Structure 1
Amino acid sequence: MDTERSTTKDTAAEDTGPETMHAVRLHAFGEPEQLVYEEVPRPEPGPGEVLVRVHAAGVNPPDWYARRGFENLPVELRPDWKPPLVLGSDISGTVVALGEGVTDWEPGDEVFGLVNFPGRAAGYAEYAVSPADHLARKPAGLGHVEAAAVPMAGLTAHQLVFRHLAGSPGDTVLVNGAAGGVGHFAAQLAKVAGARQVIGVASGRHGRFLTDLGVDRFVDYTRTPAEEVVRDADLLIDTVGGPDAHRLLPTVRRGGRIAPVFLGDYHREHAAALGITLNERPWQVRSSGADLAELAALLDSGRVRVGIDSVYPLRRAADAHRRAEQGHLQGKIVLRVTA
């Protein structure tokens, strides 16, 4: 490392910013009004970490699960988190300071990432600390709001399609909940991976959106249930789950696979009798700057696009959570932290 770079990093490791910042903290488990915009101490990076000035933060299902104390998860799977908490794992922003040992980033670098997942992060804030290897360079063609919409949903779909469920080109892939955060990325990435046909299931208002993203066939479940009109899918990526998930078994061929993103009742014994392979648990995404860099390249090339449902200023995080609870999202919800 040359002298100029070393000097820059030594200076950046010092406290060069304010001692406090604004963040949204959860003071008690419950409804969205428990999310309070307030002034809190600014964090500092430790060894192997960087401090990021957050420009935008993504809103994800684990955020509202945490807000409610993970009451939707089985007791044995609930993290032992206690308020006050700053939620949020998806960030896009600018590196402002480096912890000891960090050599891959410089102050001023524009980055985005899924921070410390499935552990705790604190992205609903003006500054956030991240392990250096959880970040990737922000795609040049995306603004921070768009970039913040990518990490958790995009990485879930990317890791699911390219690592865990790498099938042969020519597969027919059915994506249930195709207009949502994970779904709209999964539909596009299945095409990138070589799927012969991608079928997207969503409500009617999302038809044009999904067609524009390259979905070959659209099923409006409000008019016709997918299980009545889809047969012989090689792979079902189900981003909905729930107690009625088993209704989709007829859509999958014998020898096909089901990849759940959320918990669902798929009547495992019946699925096995039909020759359908079912993942033991929903897919668990992991923070990975390397995987995110691969996804960033696809975003920069235009082969994958980002859908934005709505954008809220940081101080209105509670409203963002209320929008999330309404469901039927088209893409992602994002908090704008800086103008």
Structure 2
Amino acid sequence: MRAVAYHRFGGPEVLETVDLPTPLVGPDSVLVRVRAAGVNPVDWKVRQGHLQGLLDHVFPVVPGWDVAGVVEKVGLDTPEFQVGDEVVGYVRKDVMHGGTTAELVAAPVRTLARKPESLSWAEAGGLPLAGLTAYQALRRLGVGEGDTVLVHNAAGGVGSFAVQVARAFGARVIGTASERNHERVRGFGGEPVPYGDGMVEAVRALVPGGVDAVLDLVGGGVATTTSDVGTAGVRLASVADGSVTQLGGAYVWVRPDAADLAALGALADEGRLTVPVAATFGLEQTADAHRLSEEGHAAGKVVVTVD
């Protein structure tokens, strides 16, 4: 099969199109023919070697954890799926080796859900990791009807999902974003406030009584510096700063979860969740997709599509 892989850590230039054997399918896995694979910041951070010591690597590494595709073969005990089923998945495994920027990927059924009918292949491929991160963080915060949530980086890849999911949970959402992205935040159902100077005052003006929860998608102590805009029992969570636990908050590392992914798909099919796609690239252009993601300015998901 064709795949994009790297044999050493480095910049986008280490990515190359190669021929690799078809992945073996374990008893609780299925073989998915890839139609789209989302590119996330973690993909190029892993490629650069920043997650050594946290994840094992076996070269060549095929990057990518997000996938949307069609089941081509099933394992010995996989009653959840049949050949021909359209699926999406956050296919994170214990070892970095067989990722999703390839024609085929072996995916444990625990990482998969049925593809939302309302989403295109590219949209479905951009949903899993960022969508699950937002969904699971908001669940950890206990966000529900009547809450007011402050989301930092509300226009970003995870933030855009967090605003929509929190709204679907019945919450009011205040979102920090640069001025040029304020309309984008409004389009997702949030109320934008600026980064930096004046942010605390802007939040207090909108919510004099304080927010009920703060979701940090930026890091650098943001959750700490904005906890004073919360109620007395403000709940804190971060996906970018482990020190939030020192304040009694939750540090969230997204997990594959078929039920959570199915819930996101249901929100999409109900018209309550959209997946903004900024750009798509062919498999041989995966290095360009990584470059765009690294620049950090894409207004939506970056997705690799596979013919």
TM over 0.5: yes
Which of 177, 181, 186 in structure 2 is aligned with 1:211?
186
Aligned equivalents of 1:286 and 1:114: distance in 2? 8
Measured against aligned partners, the alpha-carbon deviations of 1:27-86 in whole angstroms (never above 9, x if no partner) come to 111111111112211213121111010000011122112101126xxx7x5223243211
Contact 1:160 1:283 in 2 (8 A): yes
**2:281 alignment partner in structure 1:** 312
**1:11 alignment partner in structure 2:** none
**2:134 alignment partner in structure 1:** 157
Aligned equivalents of 2:296 and 2:198: distance in 1? 18
Contact 1:242 1:265 in 2 (8 A): no
- Based on CA coordinates, which of the two structures has the bigger radius of gyration? 1
**2:199 alignment partner in structure 1:** 226
Correspondence 1:60 to 2:36: no
**1:299 alignment partner in structure 2:** 268
Aligned equivalents of 2:13 and 2:223: distance in 1? 32
C-alpha deviation, 1:264, in angstroms? 5.8
Runs of 4+ in 1 over 3 A off after TM superposition: 116-121, 243-247, 264-268
**1:115 alignment partner in structure 2:** 91
Correspondence 1:140 to 2:120: no
**1:330 alignment partner in structure 2:** 299
Correspondence 1:187 to 2:163: yes
Measured against aligned partners, the alpha-carbon deviations of 1:241-264 in whole angstroms (never above 9, x if no partner) come to 136654333333332022101126
**What is the identity, as a one-letter code, of the residue corresponding to 2:17?**
Y
Measured against aligned partners, the alpha-carbon deviations of 1:74-105 in whole angstroms (never above 9, x if no partner) come to x7x52232432111111000111111122221
Correspondence 1:105 to 2:108: no
SS at match of 1:83: strand
Q: 1:136/1:63 Cα in 2 relative to 1: closer, same or farther (>3 Å)?
A: same
**What is the identity, as a one-letter code, of the residue corresponding to 2:170?**
G
**1:32 alignment partner in structure 2:** 12
Measured against aligned partners, the alpha-carbon deviations of 1:130-153 in whole angstroms (never above 9, x if no partner) come to 012321111111111000100011
SS at match of 2:59: coil
Q: Identity rate of aligned residues, in percent?
A: 43
Aligned equivalents of 1:255 and 1:141: distance in 2? 39
Trace 1:194-205 onto structure 2 (pairs within 5 A): 194-195=170-171, 197-205=172-180
Which of 83, 88, 102 in structure 2 is aligned with 1:125?
102
Contact 2:236 2:244 in 1 (8 A): no
Aligned equivalents of 1:42 and 1:79: distance in 2? 23
Aligned equivalents of 2:118 and 2:55: distance in 1? 36
Trace 1:164-183 onto structure 2 (pairs within 5 A): 164-183=140-159
Correspondence 1:249 to 2:223: no
Aligned equivalents of 2:301 and 2:187: distance in 1? 17
Q: 1:267/1:130 Cα in 2 relative to 1: closer, same or farther (>3 Å)?
A: closer
SS at match of 1:304: coil
**What is the identity, as a one-letter code, of the residue corresponding to 2:261?**
L
Q: 1:288/1:244 Cα in 2 relative to 1: closer, same or farther (>3 Å)?
A: closer
**What is the identity, as a one-letter code, of the residue corresponding to 1:298?**
L
Correspondence 1:288 to 2:264: no
Aligned equivalents of 1:41 and 1:53: distance in 2? 14
Q: Provide structure 2 residue ranges, at least 5 long, that are not aligned to the other structure.
A: 205-209
Contact 2:237 2:244 in 1 (8 A): no
Measured against aligned partners, the alpha-carbon deviations of 1:295-329 in whole angstroms (never above 9, x if no partner) come to 11110010111111221111111111111121133
Measured against aligned partners, the alpha-carbon deviations of 1:159-179 in whole angstroms (never above 9, x if no partner) come to 2223x1214522110111111
Aligned equivalents of 1:200 and 1:168: distance in 2? 17
TM-score under structure 1 normalisation?
0.83
Contact 1:234 1:252 in 2 (8 A): yes
Aligned equivalents of 2:198 and 2:36: distance in 1? 37
Measured against aligned partners, the alpha-carbon deviations of 1:243-295 in whole angstroms (never above 9, x if no partner) come to 66543333333320221011265694xxx5xxxx422xx30111111211111
C-alpha deviation, 1:24, in angstroms? 0.7
Q: 1:112/1:168 Cα in 2 relative to 1: closer, same or farther (>3 Å)?
A: closer
**What is the identity, as a one-letter code, of the residue corresponding to 1:45?**
V
Length, aligned pairs only: 301
Aligned equivalents of 1:159 and 1:267: distance in 2? 16
Contact 2:149 2:215 in 1 (8 A): yes
**2:207 alignment partner in structure 1:** none
Aligned equivalents of 1:194 and 1:244: distance in 2? 25
Q: 1:264/1:288 Cα in 2 relative to 1: closer, same or farther (>3 Å)?
A: closer
